[in-house]
Amino acid sequence: MYLGLPAALFTIDMEGNGNRAPINLDGFKQFFDMLEPAIGMQVSLGQTNTVALCPALTTHSELSDEALNEAGIKPTTMRISIGLEDPRMFIAHIIEAAKLSIDRKHVDFSSSFPSNEHIDEIYMQTYMDVHQRFVKSLPKFSQLSQ
């Protein structure tokens, strides 16, 4: 990757763990539907806007449960590709969608997200780190003026 930075693509599974039960599938579908229109729900090739995909509900919906499992896809797997927009806008939308859908079956699920202040802190640290790497990768003025 350019500058050694991670890709702006990540996967979320809401299948639960030892401390939390898996997300109710109907609640997850409602949550996923609520992400639109803030987050586009399509496969994207070369676009710069944020998009999300739930493979089990869309691109891989024809596969059997066994084939999905072999592919590492759970019913609640979401893949999100972050675009050029401020990612905090999408985090806020995700939290609000969770409050309106997932919290109905999984009380206080949305309270497990980081605080507003912590989200701002993570954003600022990440933004500054990425921008510094970018600026350091640019040619020196002496290289441009030769």
| Of 59, 18, 52, 49, nearest in space to 33 by CA | 52
pLDDT value at 125 more than 90: yes
Tell me which residue range forms the domain holding 71.
7-113
pLDDT of residue 7: 65
Mean predicted confidence (pLDDT) in 42-46: 66
Q: Provide the number of structural domains found in the chain.
A: 2
- Smallest CA-to-CA distance from 98 within 76, 120, 83, 79 is with 76
Which pLDDT score is estimated for 123?
94
Token output for 91: 């985090």
User: Do strands 78-81 and 51-53 pair parallel, antiparallel, or not at all (unpaired)?
Assistant: antiparallel
pLDDT of residue 32: 86
Question: Does residue 2 sit in helix, strand or coil?
Answer: helix
Question: The sheet that has 51-53: what strands, in order across it?
Answer: 9-12, 78-81, 51-53
**What is the CB neighbour count within 10 angstroms for residue 27?**
19
Question: What percentage of the chain exceeds 70 in pLDDT?
Answer: 88
Residue 2 lies in a domain: no
Mean pLDDT computed over 60-80 = 87
Do residues 18 and 83 both lie within one domain?
yes
Do 17 and 87 share a domain, yes or no? Answer: yes
Least confident interval from 1-10, 52-61, 88-97: 1-10
Closest by CA position to 8, among listed 51, 55, 60: 51
Q: Does 81 map to a domain?
A: yes
Domain match, 120 and 70 both:
no
Q: Quote the pTM value.
A: 0.77
Structure tokens at 140: 């020196």
Is 138 in the same domain as 88?
no
